[in-house]
């Protein structure tokens, strides 16, 4: 269980770094905000890449499992930052994705 919780926590931090790194340029390009937002966006994306290296398994497996957590974090961002409540379908999809992440992380390895 500790392995799953550790992986989940690290995935959440990784996903937040990616969402922030992508959201800030979005604000500049689509909302007319300051181009200075690109500086923290770049730092956030660098943190995202570094955080991915902290996972104990291979890169491809890490990316596959991470995808499930990213979906859930993106929907939380949609609600918490953008003010749009996720639909029941959004939440069901996130739960399926998180179940997939748990299967990947908890699978027996040689």
* Cβ-based neighbour number of residue 108 at 10 Å: 4
Residue 6 banded pLDDT, cuts 50, 70, 90: confident
Domain extent for 55:
2-106
Tell me, what's the pLDDT at 8? 82
Residues 48-77: tens digit of each pLDDT: 999 988 887 777 888 888 888 899 999 999
Helices (H), the chain: 2-31, 38-53, 59-80, 88-106
What per-residue confidence (pLDDT) applies to 17? 97
Domains: count for the chain? 1
State yes or no: pLDDT of 16 exceeds 90.
yes
């Amino acid at each position: 269980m500790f392995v799953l919780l550790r992986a989940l926590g690290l995935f959440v931090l990784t996903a937040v770094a990616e969402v922030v790194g992508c959201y800030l340029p979005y604000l500049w390009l689509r909302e007319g905000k300051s181009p200075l937002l690109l500086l923290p966006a770049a730092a956030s994306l660098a943190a995202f890449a570094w955080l991915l290296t902290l996972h104990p398994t291979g890169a491809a497996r890490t990316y596959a499992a991470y995808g499930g957590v990213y979906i859930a974090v993106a929907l939380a961002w949609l609600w918490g930052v953008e003010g749009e409540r996720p639909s029941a379908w959004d939440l069901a999809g996130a739960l399926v994705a998180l179940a997939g992440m748990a299967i990947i992380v908890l699978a027996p390895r040689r």
